[in-house]
Amino acid sequence: MSTVTELWDDVVRRADAEGLVDVAWTAHDSPVGPLVLAATTQGLVTISYQDADQVLATLAARVSPRVLAYPARLDRARRQLDDYFGGTRQAFDLDLDWRLMTPFQESVMRAVHDVPFGRVATYQQVAASIGRPTASRAAGGANARNPLAIVVPCHRVIGSDGSLTGYGGGMERKEFLLHLEGVR
């Protein structure tokens, strides 16, 4: 006899096979607290520190109302996060879906994505790298709304004076992530 969980897993697999799962999501425990991961067929669309209900409401409104708990679609992302937190991964190899970002934010986040493991960049450097050297505050605002935390490493962006400034996940998480990467 099948359990309810097995039946539900079968329903989800069939829905996915028929193209009915526009957004798959799961919760994932990490050393920086619970994370909500979601992916579309284009790639990872969010890694969030927010409450799952908030994340799911945003995804339903901005991507598709066809959001389903489907951890299997996020196995690769979860393994890579575990490897990162375990100290065996320095770069993520995941397809990303940038659709939750404005064009300006996407340009900032693509620049942030290029900041290497164990290094930091200033908001000014990020702004200059996208051809907007006077837009460091706007780059900071875009950074603060990063829907792809950790994988797009906004924690690696610091103030011009070297200070740790703002982080959407909280300063303790930013400090933890930088320490994990060997940044002093």
pLDDT per position in the chain (184 positions), as tens? 578 777 777 777 787 778 778 999 999 999 999 999 999 999 999 999 999 999 999 999 999 999 999 999 999 999 999 999 999 999 999 999 999 999 999 999 999 999 999 999 999 999 999 999 999 999 999 999 999 999 999 999 998 888 888 788 889 999 999 999 999 7
Torsion of CA 105, 57, 64, 22, to 10 degrees: 100
CB atoms within 10 A of CB 105: 20
The answer to whether residue 21 is domain-embedded is yes
Residue of 154, 157, 177, 178 with catalytic role: 154
Bridge partners for 27 per DSSP: 36
The answer to whether residue 90 is domain-embedded is no
Are 83 and 89 within 8 A, CB to CB?
yes
Q: What is the C-alpha R_g of the chain?
A: 17
Element holding 100 (H helix, E strand)? none
**Domain containing 16: what range?**
4-85
Give the domain CATH number at 171. 1.10.10.10
145 is catalytic: no
Q: At what angle do helices 136-144 and 103-113 cross, to 10 degrees?
A: 90
Tell me: do 72 and 23 sit in the same domain. Answer: yes
Tell me: do 67 and 127 sit in the same domain. Answer: no
Q: How many structural domains does the chain have?
A: 2
Are 95 and 41 within 8 A, CB to CB?
no
Tell me: do 78 and 145 sit in the same domain. Answer: no
The answer to whether residue 26 is domain-embedded is yes
The answer to whether residue 149 is domain-embedded is yes
The answer to whether residue 63 is domain-embedded is yes
Give the domain CATH number at 22. 3.30.160
Residue entry with tokens 């950790």: 150
Bridge partners for 67 per DSSP: 23
Are 97 and 39 within 8 A, CB to CB?
yes
Tell me: do 78 and 111 sit in the same domain. Answer: no
Tell me: do 123 and 77 sit in the same domain. Answer: no
